[in-house]
């Protein structure tokens, strides 16, 4: 596919890596706040190819993992009601609430459906006017415009049996919270490219100035990630802290104006709890007053739910790079990829899971030595 | 002023990382969930901890695709599988094709050529007869193509709402040739890993017509009988170590199962893995890994290095193996684990998935 | 976060008053909402996330990025083996790498 294949070229990756290796003279610590980038880094083994003293911290960039427990419990409560069709992105189904997950609601007879797009949930509502269709509206700025469109369309088309359980989060306040946290080690950020495709880059120069950190807007293909790291390293080595766009083919300074207008119309900024982190001021969106009737929290009166979270896991500190995964008492003992205690051990992209797997391998291979040719026969 | 949503009366306080905690998936399910049938870690646990102890015998403990049995001086392969695919008809095939080819292929993974099948239909009340007829005819056509005889059958009807149109179960037996001992435990360091063709087609073809995900794809299911291909491989050498048809859970799961059973490490070369562009594209926008997408007409073979050239040539000369490729090897390192070398010289661990892959947004 | 992939617009139509595109992702086609990129034309490439086109892909910028990466290589080739050079030059700053696309504050 055009725009994908060219940015997966191993030869160009080698050139970028050579430049990074030649430039980085000191240890640097940078964070990506983007599950998609974390996925790409692990998927392609990029972290192993960087100089040893360049550390990538995988920040709280997974919308599924940061959705607060109370919101998950509300989702479970609504999904288990008769007459409700509960629609969600696939990755939310495994996320546990206090005592169950959406899979278990489904196995107990709940109508839980995975959709690819929130518009699919709206279609289901239109086809089944006798059912209450609820969509679990999670995600960062990238996903929010899509979800906003469904309530806008529901009003325009007069679809009354549709509502959305909203738990949107915003990246810039999270960056600010991370920088304000005690003992913060992060020296630079790779900003999430697709968040910026929507929001543009206007929110970042202020953060770069205030905290003295380079912020480089970065894409998702291997060459994009390497270019983000390369530009970050150049800035750090020079003592600079600017906002740069290393993903110009998909990010304009103004973002997507039409999408931003829709966000302003449908949502309002609110404080939001991030699971495992706590409340971050002004870090979320909820439906604005004008669209409150489509808010599932209001429609279903779920009220106050009682939540209970285990406190053993230290993944929060891992996410900030404050401790290495093996410094957690549970690591490798009560917490393993097959029996995880925390999100960082759940998915293979998680910092703890990756660490666990590579440690079993005897430490990641370093350098850009090409892969040993697989045995070639015939 | 923005107020607090998603919390119970919390006010904004500075972030204290020491208080951070994260969610974990629930593993101690008191009820069966879909993941128990997904072919991943949950399925494996169900078999290992519930079924094997309940049945308790050495034959079952092999956990191969089919059991190898001695009966009256002959060595038989015996296998059964149930088919619950939705929709019943999909690009490139139907539940009838899967029911025949799936069991024929399970037998082939022991080196046996399927001789006889049983075929049972569980039909939901209200299912249209022409639909039943279409599936039955697909069974007949697929059996003829695979050279197997449907020798016995059964039909049950369940109340409306207690089935999903049609479920099909097949069981099959076949003779294992003299001198053939193919099982996952025999894989060993030095073995060459060969796949018989492009991966991921069946899973993507099914997803393309599944409600809520529909997309247009130039992809058909790869459902096909593999008995002939395995016979051609055995003509190159009787000493094939392990064979697996990577159905649900995909190639990644099949490799993990063989690595675990044999205690060898498996290294996969990602660049050598044949993935059709449309499979790659569908996995791209759904956020899935082609390594874990189902196949219904592919096999993965672990072959001693000295026979690898001959086996690969024999596969490529057969219609079902024309695009066969060497994708990796067995090593002494990381016993029981599968590691992929990425196109950039990095490595990643190919782990056993927990359950069915789900489309993701991040 | 945010799994978004590029695709090529192969057709555009109005449906229920919404502008929709047929987008090809390389052998896989999906209907995609164009509400946020109403100016999109057939033949253009867009970034798609959960059924919505979020941004047009800019061919010129993509080419500039790739040329920059190529240049890094050319510089290296002129100076011989980059790895030896990297070891030798450790500690020195490298001039001459382009800093294109800087965002103005």
Residues from chain B contacting residue A304 (CB–CB below 8 Å): 8
d(CA A89, CA A143): 11
Confidence of residue C75 (pLDDT cuts 50, 70, 90): low
Considering the domain architecture, whether residues C13 and C47 belong to the same structural domain is answered as yes
d(CA A269, CA B2): 6
Considering the domain architecture, whether residues C53 and C41 belong to the same structural domain is answered as yes
Average pLDDT over residues B284-295: 91
Each residue's pLDDT expressed in tens, for chain A with a length of 378 residues? 899 999 999 999 999 999 999 999 999 999 998 888 988 888 888 988 999 999 998 888 888 778 888 899 999 999 999 999 999 998 788 777 777 888 889 888 899 999 999 999 999 999 999 999 999 999 999 999 999 999 999 999 999 999 999 999 999 999 999 999 888 899 999 999 999 999 999 999 999 999 999 999 999 999 999 999 999 999 999 999 999 999 999 999 999 999 999 999 999 999 998 877 788 999 999 999 999 999 999 999 887 777 766 567 787 777 777 787 888 888 888 877 666 676 677 665 667 777 776 666 654 433 333 333 333 332
Considering the domain architecture, whether residues C51 and C12 belong to the same structural domain is answered as yes
Q: Please tell me which residue of chain B has the smallest CA distance to A36.
A: B362
The dotted CATH code for B184-349 is 3.90.650.10
pTM for the structure as a whole: 0.85
- Whether residue A70 and residue B271 make contact (CB cut-off 8 A), yes or no, is no
**DSSP result, B245-284:** ---TTHHHHHHHHHHHHHT-EEEEEGGGS---HHHHHHHH
- Whether residue A16 and residue C69 make contact (CB cut-off 8 A), yes or no, is yes
Tell me the two tokens of residue A246: 């290393």
**How many beta carbons lie within 10 A of that of residue A130, not counting itself?**
6
Q: Which residue has tokens 């291979």?
A: A365
Considering the domain architecture, whether residues C46 and C83 belong to the same structural domain is answered as no
Per the model's pLDDT, the better-predicted residue between C96 and B321 turns out to be B321
d(CA A141, CA A145): 7
CB of C66 within 8 Å of a chain A CB? The answer is yes
d(CA A242, CA A253): 14
- Whether residue B276 and residue C27 make contact (CB cut-off 8 A), yes or no, is yes
In the prediction, which pLDDT does A219 show?
A: 97
DSSP letter at B7? S
d(CA B253, CA B39): 8
The answer on pLDDT for C63 being more than 60 is: yes
Cis peptide before B87 (omega within 30 of 0): yes
Considering the domain architecture, whether residues C15 and C35 belong to the same structural domain is answered as yes
In the prediction, which pLDDT does C91 show?
A: 44
Residues from chain C contacting residue B204 (CB–CB below 8 Å): 28
- 3-class state of residue C10 by DSSP: strand
Considering the domain architecture, whether residues C64 and C52 belong to the same structural domain is answered as no
Count how many pairs of residues, chain A against chain B, have C-beta atoms within 8 Å: 280
Residues from chain B contacting residue C50 (CB–CB below 8 Å): 361
Q: Which residue has tokens 């929110």?
A: A203
- C40: in domain: yes
Q: Please tell me which residue of chain A has the smallest CA distance to C93.
A: A23
Class of domain B66-175: alpha beta
Question: Which H or E element spans position C23?
Answer: strand C18-24
CB of B290 within 8 Å of a chain C CB? The answer is no
- C97: in domain: no
Count how many pairs of residues, chain B against chain C, have C-beta atoms within 8 Å: 49
B132-171 as b/e: b if 16+ CB within 10 A: bebbbebbeebbeebebebeeeeeeeeeeeebebbbbbbb
Domain boundaries, chain A: 1-309, 315-360
Residues from chain A contacting residue C86 (CB–CB below 8 Å): 18, 21-22
In the prediction, which pLDDT does A297 show?
A: 94
- C36: in domain: yes
Shortest alpha-carbon distance between residue C64 and chain A (Å): 9
| Contact between C72 and A16 (Cβ < 8 Å) | yes
d(CA A257, CA B23): 35
The answer on pLDDT for B290 being more than 50 is: yes
| Contact between C46 and C37 (Cβ < 8 Å) | yes
Q: What dihedral angle (degrees, nearest 10) is formed by the CA atoms of A160, A164, A165, A168?
A: -150
In the prediction, which pLDDT does B68 show?
A: 87
Look at A235-249, B40-54, B175-189, C50-64 and tell me which has the smallest mean pLDDT.
B40-54
- 3-class state of residue B6 by DSSP: coil
| Contact between B168 and B135 (Cβ < 8 Å) | yes
User: Smallest Cα–Cα separation from B362: which of A89, C66, A316?
Assistant: A89
Residues from chain A contacting residue B305 (CB–CB below 8 Å): 375
Considering the domain architecture, whether residues C12 and C39 belong to the same structural domain is answered as yes
d(CA A143, CA B291): 27
CATH code where residue C37 lies: 2.30.30.140
Per the model's pLDDT, the better-predicted residue between A315 and B179 turns out to be B179
Handedness of CA A286, A291, A292, A296 (dihedral sign): negative
Residues from chain A contacting residue B334 (CB–CB below 8 Å): 360-362
d(CA A235, CA A241): 6
- 3-class state of residue C71 by DSSP: helix
Considering the domain architecture, whether residues C9 and C48 belong to the same structural domain is answered as yes
> Which site among A1, A171, A257 would you substitute to test the C interface, given the most C Cβ atoms closer than 10 Å to its Cβ?
A1
Tell me the two tokens of residue B229: 């291909």
- The fold of A1-309 is Rossmann fold (3.40.50)
Tell me the two tokens of residue B143: 């059996």
User: Smallest Cα–Cα separation from A234: which of A29, A18, A11, A19?
Assistant: A19
**DSSP result, A137-179:** EEE-TTTHHHHHHHHHHHHHTT--SEEEEEEEE-HHHHHHHHH
* Chain C residues touching chain B at CB-CB below 8 Å: 1-3, 5, 7, 25-30, 48-50
The answer on pLDDT for B339 being more than 90 is: yes
- Whether residue C16 and residue A89 make contact (CB cut-off 8 A), yes or no, is no
User: Smallest Cα–Cα separation from A377: which of B268, B327, B258?
Assistant: B327
| Contact between B23 and A98 (Cβ < 8 Å) | no
Q: Which of C27, C49, C50 lies nearest to residue B281, judging by beta carbons?
A: C27
| Contact between B354 and B280 (Cβ < 8 Å) | no
| Domain carrying residue C38 | 5-57
Average pLDDT over residues B58-71: 77
Confidence of residue B26 (pLDDT cuts 50, 70, 90): very low
| Contact between A3 and C65 (Cβ < 8 Å) | no
Q: Which of A18, A143, A234 lies nearest to residue C2, judging by beta carbons?
A: A143
DSSP letter at B332? S
Average pLDDT over residues B314-335: 97
Considering the domain architecture, whether residues C43 and C70 belong to the same structural domain is answered as no
- How far is it between the farthest Cα atoms of chain A? 68
In the prediction, which pLDDT does B245 show?
A: 95
Handedness of CA A254, A259, A262, A263 (dihedral sign): negative
Q: Please tell me which residue of chain B has the smallest CA distance to A63.
A: B362
Handedness of CA A354, A360, A366, A372 (dihedral sign): negative
| Contact between B65 and B110 (Cβ < 8 Å) | yes
| Contact between C21 and C2 (Cβ < 8 Å) | no
Q: What is the count of structural domains for chain C?
A: 2
Question: Which H or E element spans position B187?
Answer: none
ipTM: 0.88
Size (chain C), residues: 105
Domain boundaries, chain B: 66-175, 184-349
Considering the domain architecture, whether residues C38 and C73 belong to the same structural domain is answered as no
Considering the domain architecture, whether residues C47 and C19 belong to the same structural domain is answered as yes
Tell me the two tokens of residue B254: 């099949």
d(CA B100, CA B97): 5
- Angle in degrees, 0-180, between the axes of helices A118-127 and A144-156, rounded to the nearest 10: 20
- 3-class state of residue A78 by DSSP: helix
Q: Which residue has tokens 């209450």?
A: A132
Q: Enumerate residues 6+ apart whose C-beta is below 8 A from B5.
A: A270, A271, A272, A284, A286
CB of B212 within 8 Å of a chain C CB? The answer is no
Strand partners, B35: none
**DSSP result, B53-121:** HHH--HHHHT--SSEEEEETTEEEEEEEEEE--SSSEETTEEHHHHHHHHHHHHHHTTTPEEEEEEEEE
- Angle in degrees, 0-180, between the axes of helices A257-266 and A144-156, rounded to the nearest 10: 60
Number of H helices, E strands in chain C: 2, 5
> Which site among A105, A194, A355, A371 would you substitute to test the B interface, given the most B Cβ atoms closer than 10 Å to its Cβ?
A371
User: Smallest Cα–Cα separation from A62: which of A275, A228, A286?
Assistant: A275
d(CA B189, CA B240): 14
- C95: in domain: no
Shortest alpha-carbon distance between residue C50 and chain B (Å): 7
In the prediction, which pLDDT does B42 show?
A: 77
Considering the domain architecture, whether residues C14 and C49 belong to the same structural domain is answered as yes
Half-sphere exposure (CA, 13 Å, Cβ side) for B192? 24
């Amino acid at each position: 596919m055009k725009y994908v294949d060219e940015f997966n070229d191993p030869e160009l990756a080698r050139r970028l890596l050579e430049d990074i290796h030649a430039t980085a003279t000191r240890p640097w610590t940078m964070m990506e706040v983007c599950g998609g980038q974390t996925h790409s880094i692990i998927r392609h083994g990029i972290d192993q190819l960087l100089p040893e003293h360049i550390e990538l911290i995988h920040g709280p960039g997974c919308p599924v993992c940061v959705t607060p427990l109370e919101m998950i419990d509300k989702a479970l409560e609504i999904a288990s009601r008769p007459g409700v069709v509960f629609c969600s992105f696939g990755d939310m189904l495994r996320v546990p609430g206090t005592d169950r997950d959406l899979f278990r609601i489904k196995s107990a007879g709940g109508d839980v459906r995975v959709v690819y797009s929130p518009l699919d949930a709206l279609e289901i509502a239109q086809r089944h006017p006798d059912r209450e269709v609820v969509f679990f509206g999670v995600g960062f700025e990238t996903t929010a415009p899509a979800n906003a469109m469904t309530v806008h369309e529901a009003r325009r088309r007069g679809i009354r049996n549709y509502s959305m359980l909203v738990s949107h989060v915003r990246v810039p306040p999270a960056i600010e919270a991370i920088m304000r946290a005690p003992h913060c080690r992060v020296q630079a950020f790779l900003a999430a490219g697709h968040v910026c495709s929507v929001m543009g880059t206007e929110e970042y120069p202020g953060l770069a100035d205030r905290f003295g950190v380079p912020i480089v807007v970065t894409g998702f293909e291997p060459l994009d990630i390497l270019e983000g790291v390369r530009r970050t390293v150049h800035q750090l080595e020079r003592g600079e802290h600017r906002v740069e766009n290393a993903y110009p083919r998909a990010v304009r300074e103004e973002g997507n104006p039409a999408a931003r207008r829709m966000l302003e119309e449908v949502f309002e900024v609110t404080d939001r709890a991030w699971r495992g982190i706590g409340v971050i001021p002004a870090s979320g969106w909820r439906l604005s007053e004008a669209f409150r009737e489509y808010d599932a929290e209001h429609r279903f009166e779920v009220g106050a739910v009682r939540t209970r979270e285990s406190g053993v896991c230290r993944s929060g500190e891992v996410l900030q790079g404050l401790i290495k995964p093996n410094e957690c008492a549970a690591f490798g003992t009560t917490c393993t990829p097959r029996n995880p205690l925390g999100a960082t051990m759940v998915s293979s992209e998680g910092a703890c899971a990756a660490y666990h797997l590579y440690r079993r391998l005897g430490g990641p291979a370093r350098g850009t030595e090409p892969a040993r040719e697989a045995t070639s026969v015939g | 002023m923005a107020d607090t949503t998603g919390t119970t009366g919390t006010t904004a306080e500075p972030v204290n990382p020491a208080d951070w905690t994260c969610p974990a998936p629930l593993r101690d399910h008191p009820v069966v969930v879909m993941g128990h049938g997904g072919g991943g870690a949950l399925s494996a646990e169900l078999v290992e901890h519930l079924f094997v102890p309940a049945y308790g015998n050495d034959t079952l403990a092999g956990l191969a695709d089919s059991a190898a049995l001695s009966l009256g001086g002959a060595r038989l392969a015996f296998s059964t599988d149930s088919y619950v695919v939705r929709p019943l008809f999909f690009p490139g095939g139907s539940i009838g094709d899967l029911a025949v080819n799936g069991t024929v292929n399970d037998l082939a993974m022991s080196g046996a050529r399927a001789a006889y099948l049983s075929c049972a239909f569980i039909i939901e009340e209200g299912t249209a007869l022409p639909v039943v007829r279409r599936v039955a005819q697909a069974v007949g056509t697929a059996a003829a193509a695979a050279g197997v005889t449907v020798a016995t059958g059964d039909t049950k009807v369940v109340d409306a709402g207690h089935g999903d149109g049609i479920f099909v179960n097949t069981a099959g037996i076949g003779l294992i040739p003299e001198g053939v001992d193919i099982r996952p435990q025999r894989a060993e360091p030095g073995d060459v890993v060969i796949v018989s063709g492009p991966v991921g087609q069946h899973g993507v073809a099914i997803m393309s017509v599944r409600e809520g995900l529909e997309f247009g794809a130039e992809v058909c299911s790869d459902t096909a009988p593999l008995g002939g291909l395995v016979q051609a491989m055995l003509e190159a050498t009787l000493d094939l170590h392990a064979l697996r048809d990577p159905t649900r859970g995909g190639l990644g799961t099949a490799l993990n199962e063989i690595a675990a059973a044999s205690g060898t490490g498996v290294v996969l070369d990602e660049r050598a893995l044949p993935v059709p562009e449309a499979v790659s594209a569908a996995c791209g926008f759904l956020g899935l890994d082609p390594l874990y997408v189902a196949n219904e007409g592919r096999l993965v073979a672990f072959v001693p290095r000295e026979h690898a050239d001959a086996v690969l040539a024999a596969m490529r000369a057969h219609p079902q193996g024309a695009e066969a490729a060497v994708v990796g090897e067995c090593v002494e390192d990381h016993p029981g684990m599968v590691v992929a070398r990425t196109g950039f010289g990095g490595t990643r661990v190919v782990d056993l998935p927990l359950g069915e892959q789900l489309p993701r947004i991040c | 976060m945010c799994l978004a992939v590029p695709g090529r617009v192969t057709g555009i139509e109005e449906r229920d008053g919404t502008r929709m595109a047929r987008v090809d992702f390389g052998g896989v086609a999906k209907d995609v909402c164009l509400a946020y990129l109403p100016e999109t034309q057939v033949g253009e490439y867009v970034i798609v996330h959960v059924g919505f086109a979020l941004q047009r892909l800019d061919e010129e910028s993509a080419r500039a990025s790739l040329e920059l990466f190529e240049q890094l290589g050319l510089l290296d080739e002129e100076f011989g083996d980059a790895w030896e050079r990297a070891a030798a030059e450790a500690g020195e700053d490298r001039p001459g790498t382009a800093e294109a696309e800087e965002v103005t504050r």
